[in-house]
């Protein structure tokens, strides 16, 4: 057996066009999530500094901010599950932008 030449490993599978679409959609979604987070932080800071009523609107906005993050996380998990099951699913508003970016890059 030592005289035999080793069998080379098979080449890695080539990713299909779906991989590029999901990557672009993920990048756009991630950037949007970061921008929403920055905007919520600014609004939260402004609410906490309102004299007299900041004690009410600050925690209220904190709850709204938490719910926004929870909704975005659920959307992220749904997108990951759809991608792993092979279902092409576009995030509303983000998917068409990613598709246009992919079509523009392919031209």
pLDDT digits (tens, 9 = 90+) for 30-60: 999 999 999 999 999 998 888 888 888 889 9
Domain residue extents for the chain: 22-106
Q: Which tops the pLDDT comparison, 107 or 21?
A: 21
What confidence category does residue 15 fall into, taking pLDDT thresholds of 50, 70 and 90?
A: confident
Mind listing the pLDDT tens digit for each residue in 87-107? 888 999 999 999 998 888 765
Q: Assign residue 86 a region: left if phi > 0, alpha if psi is -120 to 50, beta otherwise?
A: left
**Per-residue pLDDT for 76 more than 70?**
yes
Contact 89, 82 (CB under 8 A): yes
**Per-residue pLDDT for 84 more than 80?**
yes
Q: What is the DSSP letter of 4?
A: S
Q: How many helices (H) and strands (E) does the chain have?
A: 3, 0
Which are the contacts of 50, defined by CB distance < 8 A and separation ≥ 6?
Answer: 57
Which are the contacts of 88, defined by CB distance < 8 A and separation ≥ 6?
Answer: 18, 21, 82
């Amino acid at each position: 057996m030592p005289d035999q030449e080793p069998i080379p490993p098979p080449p890695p599978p080539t990713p299909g066009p779906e991989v590029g679409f999901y990557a672009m959609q993920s990048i756009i979604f991630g950037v949007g999530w970061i921008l929403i987070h920055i905007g919520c932080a600014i609004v939260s800071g402004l609410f906490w500094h309102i004299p007299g009523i900041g004690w009410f609107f600050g925690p209220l906005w904190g709850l709204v901010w938490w719910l926004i993050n929870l909704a975005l996380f659920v959307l992220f998990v749904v997108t990951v599950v759809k991608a792993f099951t092979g279902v092409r699913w576009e995030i509303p508003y983000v998917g068409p932008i990613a598709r246009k970016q992919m079509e523009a890059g392919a031209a």
